[in-house]
Amino acid sequence: MSRAVVFDLDGTLIDSAPDIHASANRLMVEHGFAPFEPAETRAFIGRGVPHFIACCLKARGAAGRPALQARMVHDFLAGYESAVSLTTVYPGVPETLAALAAMDLRLGICTNKPEAPARAVLAHLRLTAHFDVVIGGDSTAQRKPDPMPLRAAIAGLGAGDVVFVGDSEVDAETAARAGLPFALFTEGYHKGRLADLPHHAAFSDFVRLPEIVTDLLR
């Protein structure tokens, strides 16, 4: 079986928080709520769109309104595939992906972003060709931190030895539940102290990742 690296997307390979913030504020204003500061919506990212919208409503004192939440999830998803203009790739990501591929490693994505928006932003940023598998938050019956989507990515890659790379508490828990080594990107969207996130290696510069992956797969 092949060796592989599976990546989270938002906060790991790309900084999508500005687009998500802009989309959330348009939605909130349309529904009569006050907009958010960027740090507020960034704190809601990581567990999928329904959770994100639930956090937005709770922050505006509108929790426990399922019909409104369902409508806002629908409206948010309707514009999610085109919410790419403010998103950027973290420094060194394209070069690192090419370096990993040159090491005969297969590469995949496992994200809680829905699959269609994930593929749309990868295409916009010209990253699609690097990945053999893209598993989104709606690709399987469960989202991270359940290990099901990560296992689906691994199965799609036909991989035996795998490293999971992410940036958050959700990713750390997913790796632990899947029994995989976890490499933590420290510049992403984690909520608490980095020291509290279980990980096998941590990095702030993608130039270090090939060496880390080599060590973790050894």
By annotation, the residues acting in catalysis are 8
Contacts within 8 Å (CB) and 24+ apart, 174-182 = 174/110, 174/144, 174/145, 174/146, 174/147, 174/150, 175/150, 177/145, 177/146, 177/147, 178/147, 178/150, 178/151, 178/154, 180/150, 181/216, 181/217
Amino acid identity at 52: F
Query: DSSP character for 47?
Result: S
Q: Are 146 and 173 in contact (CB under 8 A)?
A: no
Phi, psi for residue 213 in degrees, rounded to 5: -60, -40
Q: Are 165 and 6 in contact (CB under 8 A)?
A: yes
